[in-house]
Chains A and B, each alone.
Chain A
Amino acid sequence: MNRVNSSISNAAVCALTLVVAANSAVAEIAATGVVQNTAQTVLQPQSTDPQVKAPVYSPYAGRNFPTQVLWGDTHLHTNLSLDARAGGVTLGPEAAYRFARGEEVTSSHGERVKLLRPLDFLVVSDHSDAMGGMDQIFKGNPVLLKDPTINSWYQKLMQGGAVAKGAVVEVVQAFTTGKAPKIMLAPDFARPVWEQYLDTAEQFNDPGRFTALIGYEWTSTTGGNNLHRNVLYRDGADKARQALPFTVADSDNPEDLWNWMAGYEDQTQGQVIALAHNGNLSNGLMFPEVNPATGKPLTRDYAINRIRWEPLYEVTQIKGDGEAHSMLSPDDEFADYGTWDWSNLGPVKKQPQMLQYEYGRQALKLGLKLEQTLGINPYKFGMIGSTDAHTGLATAEEGSFFGKISYTEPNANRANSALAVFGDVTWMNWSQVASGYAAVWAKENTREAIFDAMKRKEVYATTGPRMTVWFFGGWDFQANDALQRTPGAIGYSKGVSMGGDLSQAPAGKSPSFLVTALKDPYGGNLDRVQIVKGWLDAQGEMREQVYDVVWSDQRKPGADGKLPAVGNTVDQANATWTNDIGASELMTTWQDPDFNADQSAFYYARVLEIPTPHWTAYDAKRFGLVLKEGAPKSNQERAYTSPIWYTPEK
């Protein structure tokens, strides 16, 4: 098996990192596990057994499906992350957890801050390379300062101001171009930091009330191409402490990360998944057709492992939204929400042909195409949003946005100034997206329940608001199903939830979908619900279509079939809006009018809010600013569900 061979050929890497079991016997076991697990993942993604029986008096009896959405952030950095600390964050994991569970904390710049409402779970995902290292540089650790590079960073950081800001860029670039000082990557350095990190997670994990999911970020950025992955654990510290996190010093190739994950699971009997970072800064490498590591087309083994280890994708975050790009989806008038398409982190400028390998919708389509040749879909992922904030503060609310990194926490200059200047590429702060959160349909608020929901992809992404979205697919949904009091009861009994699979189309039937969206009580009303379909046509070409399926205010589509815009009540000067337009809930059933049972397809729901003020409007109002040309005026926040796939029988 190739899998075994690849494990052995990586032995050099393993011997260096000494993290993955390098002997072939263990690799063989790991390989077997992979295949079994893959079969499970592909064939039975729905582990929920709804058990809906004949009606009884108690409407709650017999229920065995998730009835609550849990909200969290799977991607948050603290002072243990090199770049975050260099950028000024002083808050560590403890403050991050306290903030996420609803307590008031003081930000790195002395500002009191509290979430409007608590999150249900948090993954502190500090960069594994040199975790805790920058904090040591700031403290003047004499061993580290012997290194001339570190010493020069230290001197600059101590100067403060523009010099320090320049040093932050230097630090980031050093780690994104493989030029990190070796001394900061040593295991002896990493171990005590990791132990402490796990202890803090244990301290804050409070089953039933607040979940501290253990995780870290593997930060492969060779050549500036962002291929980061967040590794999430189902397990507690007892298992997680048995292995040091995988680092880029070990390898920058995701396949080696998967190897490490297999080794971890095999040794500890634990479970981990990896969540790919928004691909918009990967310069065409996040969803490849040609494996960048080999220069050859993807293999079946790659596909098996990719979807085995990476069931989810971070489709939206502060550094841009990655659902749909207008060049790839020219007919989608709502594409390009918070698009960042100028360069990678190098910065190497973006070429148009790179986009097709960076955006979520296109990758879902590419997955269908690759499945034709590889027999397995490597990009059959569910979607979540998260912040990737480097402030210790998981903020995704427009009105209380603490930014990407601590030097862009609220102040009178941030909205009109640059986040980063890389040569002739300038990233403006106003391009930061106050996004997003991960919504998880879980049965209870525990590590296990949240992880399992993630693995079955019963999750969705939002750009910050907490709208509740149900999405079910089946063969028998009818119009009056949308009138039921509890969408879950009818949805699970007649179909599969988001993340699920449809196959074996009954003769002459098209798939039907039940979709329900309830607004965020603190947010804007709802404009519309859309179903996005992607499929392979008879020629095997990738196609997509966005259908408006239910909308507010009794609007009528125009002669071109286009639904008129919902309107805009945003008062820019006062950073307010009114909910006079839009709906508080939208619910319908929809049947695919263009279905062909021989063609593989996926469907996901996109829920749009009415326009609300962008975070820069709140800055302008509170600091008395006039925003520079180019700053967004308002935005239509949204949710993206994980898809439901239709696969024809072979």
Chain B
Amino acid sequence: MNVVMKFLREPLLHFLVLGGALFAVNAWRASPDPQQAPKASAVSHRLELSAATVNGLIENWQKTRFRSPTDAELNGLIDSRVQQEILYREALSFGLDKDDTIIRRRLAQKMEFLAEGLIDQGEPSQAQLQAYLDSHPVSFQVPPSIRFQQIYFSPAQHQQSLAVDMRSAMTALDNNPGIDPATLGDRLLTELPRESMTEQQLASRFGPQFAAEFFSTEQGRWQGPLRSALGMHLVKIEQRDLARVPALTEVADRVREALLRERRLGAAKTYYQAVRDKYQVVVEPPAAPLAVIQSVTVEDQ
């Protein structure tokens, strides 16, 4: 994101006359012009509103209101823009920007904000993304998953014979490896995806205890009974995929998002460190033991 766009989207920006005026400053040109000397002697400044700025006002209006401003509305927009600029300049000429806590805080904030954009190095390269992924493997780790079969038994349907019925199903599975498990057990309403599932995904369908138990069973043979939130199950893990760090292609978007976020947050800090080095900071000790407020002086070198 470029610096200008960041400014446009910055909510704070539009609050302050100062902020608005600073942003507009490129679009304005102000100069005393002797060639076009004002008729009234009181006129001493020139304020020019460029066509681009006026178009900007119109476009902004169109985008939110679904139509162009009328002549009267456009005049209103221009007038308020002119008024803002004139008052701003008059305020500067009175030195109202000096020693104002809010303006000081705001300008400091704007520098931080600018810094985030200044250090933006543009779109990360594949190599940078890969390096970021390599240095943050845990953040992008694909959790372990299993591919499995299960046979569901509804306690409500089997009642007293549940244990017996499950044992005989187990015997059938042991004695006849070719048997279709779908012919055993009861209907399970929840539909299982055919790809492998993580413990979290299993838990969301069968409850957490079942998911944990199932994950810790041995691979490759029928086991059970296991109790889930829905009933009883015979289960068989066919394949187990361990946790792994994904290839960049699988998670490029997320890596990019994280990398850009880190750059953004790190940028202001780096910038501050750089400018901080230009200053020798002298802090006067408190004048009296009872002093509550510390006086801090920052001296330009």
A contact residues vs B (CB 8 Å cutoff): 18-23, 26, 67-68, 117, 132, 136, 140-144, 187-189, 191-193, 195-196, 199, 203, 206, 241-244, 263, 267, 468, 483-487, 516, 518-522, 552, 579, 583-585, 587
Contacts and interface: CB of A to CB of B under 8 A. Distances in A.
Given A189-B15, A193-B11, A522-B229, 10 more contacts: A21-B66, A23-B67, A26-B66, A141-B15, A192-B11, A195-B8, A203-B257, A243-B66, A521-B210, A521-B228
Given A188-B14, A199-B9, A483 B187 contact: yes
Given A468-B189, A521-B228, A267 B16 contact: no
A263 B15 contact: no
Contacts of B156: 552, 583-584
B155 to A, nearest CB: 8
B207 interface: yes
Nearest to A132: B11
A167 to B, nearest CB: 21
Contact of B205 (A193, A243, A521, A585): A521
B180 to A, nearest CB: 12
Given A144-B15, A518-B230, A485 B65 contact: no
Contacts of B225: none
Given A136-B15, A192-B13, A243-B66, A117 B229 contact: no
Contact of A579 (B61, B229, B257): B229
A85 to B, nearest CB: 13
B64 interface: yes
Contacts of A23: 67
Nearest to B230: A584
A206 B252 CA distance: 13
A336 B212 CA distance: 38
A485 B187 contact: yes
A142 B229 contact: no
B118 to A, nearest CB: 20
B98 to A, nearest CB: 16
Interface in B110-144: none
A192 B14 contact: yes
A132 B156 CA distance: 54
A579 B230 CA distance: 10
The 9 closest A-B pairs by CB, nearest first: A521-B229, A18-B65, A521-B207, A192-B11, A584-B230, A518-B189, A244-B64, A485-B187, A21-B66
A519 B15 contact: no
A521 B64 CA distance: 47
Contact of B189 (A19, A243, A585): A585
A19 B64 contact: yes
A143 B206 contact: no
Contacts of A579: 229
Contacts of B208: 522
B38 interface: no
A521 B67 contact: no
B187 A519 contact: no
Contacts of A188: 14
Contacts of B200: 117
Contacts of A142: 15-16, 102
B64 A243 contact: yes
A504 B66 CA distance: 44
Nearest to B1: A199
Among the interface residues B17, B154, B229, B257, which one has the most CB atoms of the partner chain A within 10 A?
B229
Interface string B1-32: 00000001111111111000000000000000
A401 to B, nearest CB: 19
A34 B64 CA distance: 22
A519 B230 contact: yes
A124 to B, nearest CB: 15
Interface in B172-196: 187-191
A207 B186 CA distance: 35
B102 A140 contact: yes
B266 interface: no
B201 to A, nearest CB: 9
Contacts of B56: none
B229 A584 contact: yes
B100 to A, nearest CB: 9
Given A21-B66, A244-B64, A468-B189, A521 B230 contact: yes
Contacts of A140: 102
25 contacts: A19-B65, A21-B66, A22-B67, A26-B66, A117-B203, A141-B12, A141-B15, A142-B15, A144-B15, A188-B14, A191-B14, A191-B64, A192-B9, A192-B10, A192-B13, A196-B9, A244-B64, A263-B66, A518-B189, A518-B230, A519-B229, A521-B204, A521-B205, A521-B228, A521-B230
B160 to A, nearest CB: 14
A289 B160 CA distance: 57
B97 to A, nearest CB: 13
A143 B15 CA distance: 7
B278 interface: no
Given A117-B203, A188-B14, A483-B187, A195 B229 contact: no
A196 B189 contact: no
Contacts of B13: 192
A73 B277 CA distance: 49
A584 B190 CA distance: 11
A614 B11 CA distance: 41
Contacts of B205: 521
A521 B206 contact: yes
Interface string B90-103: 00000000000010
B231 interface: yes
Nearest to B231: A584
A273 B257 CA distance: 31
A501 B230 CA distance: 32
- Name which of B61, B187, B205 has the most chain A CB atoms within 10 A of its CB: B187
A468 B190 contact: yes
Nearest to A20: B66
Given A142-B16, A203-B257, A518-B190, A117 B65 contact: no
B39 interface: no
Nearest to A22: B67
Given A191-B64, A585-B189, A117 B257 contact: no
A468 B191 CA distance: 11
Nearest to B188: A485
Contacts of B188: 485
Contacts of B66: 19-21, 26, 242-243, 263, 267
A487 B189 contact: yes
Nearest to A18: B65
Contacts of A141: 12, 15
